[in-house]
Amino acid sequence: MDSTDARVPHGASAALVDAIATGGAVTGLRVHRLVPLARGPLGERLITVDQTNTSVVVGERVVVKWMRPGGSPDRAPALLAHLAAVGFTRTPTPYAAVYRDGPDAGLVAVVTGFLPEAADGWDWCVDALLGQLDGGPPADLAGDLGVLAAELHCALATPSGTIPAPVAVSHRDWAADGLAVLDQAHRLIAADDDEEARWFAARLPRLAADIGRSREVDRAHAIQPHGDLHVGQVLRWRGGLAVTDFDGNPTLAAPGGATLTEPPARDVAQLRTSLLHVGEIANRRTEDRHRPAVTDWCRRATDDLLAAYRRTLAERGMTHLFDERLLRPFEVEQECRELCYAARFLPRWRYAPMGVLRRWYD
């Protein structure tokens, strides 16, 4: 193993993969096999990028994602099993979910296929835009993201033995949720008492009005969404694009342990705003030398994503899933969630959502 993590003993990932392939038992753990896994090489390599959980590549063909204790809802295995059952293949192959029973019961690990030469969107999307700004080919990537999102939502809305009735009608007060996030973001930013805090405070009425527009929608179709769909969850590998990480966004967890259901517009809003964050990253890396070009790219990219998303839903007879009236309220709420995340965990990230909001409200 090239490197180690204190939470995952050396050899544990390889032993788990071998047990899954051979049908063997794993002491103290319960294995739920999803897709058959053949035996193969068992060398280990830790994925070293920053992440909440710990992922280990085994034999350059399987990834064991060890979950942070107490940090992950048990939603990914069911969604992965559902997607496999309905024939959705644009995600790493789900081989198994591993649980611990007893007092510390819960999801321990998810075992999926390894995608060779994969890069996540914070790398490949940003690199594509920087390449365009440097005179390279156009970064025309957003349409493919829109198609992927629509295909994912159509699959999530297709009945299976795992999720027999995947679509429900929701009457949730989305505005109340969003306004609570806005208030939280305001309180966290106000603690700094700087120019950005004053700017944000002055625009609270407009932010609240845009979030409140979701009250125009009294009912919407809801599914179990990806839940944290941004470009960083889209891998580009030698086989194309694949979506990964179905653990969900803990800030959107359903109350009382209920199954999280949301209008698909929630995923679309987050994916579109993440493209705007790609633009902010590019602005920072180029010291704002190409800001007009980046602004134009962001506008076209978000439009292209939405057009491809709508078109793909229509081709599959699933247009009823998407209520566009929820899109801007959810996008504004998402930027407020990003501000909360930055204030609590990653202060250096604040520039990205604040840059997006300034573009919208200045």
pLDDT for 252 equals: 60
Q: What is the pTM of this model?
A: 0.92
Pairwise CA distance, residues 8 & 67, whole Å: 10
pLDDT for 258 equals: 55
- Examine the pLDDT at 290 and tell me if it is beyond 60: yes
More confident residue, 107 or 268: 268
The fraction of the chain above a pLDDT of 90, given in percent, is: 83
253: confidence class by pLDDT, cuts 50, 70, 90: low
Residue 66 CB coordination number (10 Å): 20
What's the CATH fold of domain 119-361?
A: Aminoglycoside 3'-phosphotransferase; Chain: A, domain 2 (3.90.1200)
- Which tens digit of pLDDT belongs to each residue from 321-360? 999 999 999 999 999 999 999 999 999 999 999 999 999 9
Mean pLDDT across the stretch 8-36? 92
Residue type, 26: V
pLDDT for 256 equals: 45
Three-class DSSP labels, 164-202 = CCCCEEECCCHHHHHHHHHHHHHHHHHCCCCHHHHHHHH
Nearest to 225 by CA among 269, 194, 190: 269
Taking all residues of the chain, what is their mean pLDDT, rounded to a whole number? 92
Pairwise CA distance, residues 218 & 212, whole Å: 12
- Which tens digit of pLDDT belongs to each residue from 91-133? 999 999 999 888 778 899 999 999 999 999 999 999 999 999 9
Q: Do 349 and 338 meet the contact criterion of CB atoms below 8 Å apart?
A: yes
pLDDT for 250 equals: 56
Kind of pairing, strands 234-237 and 220-222? unpaired
> What are residue 356's phi and psi, to 5 degrees?
-65, -45
Mean pLDDT across the stretch 196-205? 97
Q: DSSP secondary structure string, 230-271?
A: SGGGEEEETTEEEE---S--GGGPPGGGPPP-B-THHHHHHH
pLDDT for 251 equals: 57
More confident residue, 257 or 40: 40
Nearest to 109 by CA among 182, 152, 56: 56
* Residue showing tokens 């180029």: 286
pLDDT for 104 equals: 79
- Which tens digit of pLDDT belongs to each residue from 138-151? 999 999 999 999 99
1: confidence class by pLDDT, cuts 50, 70, 90: very low
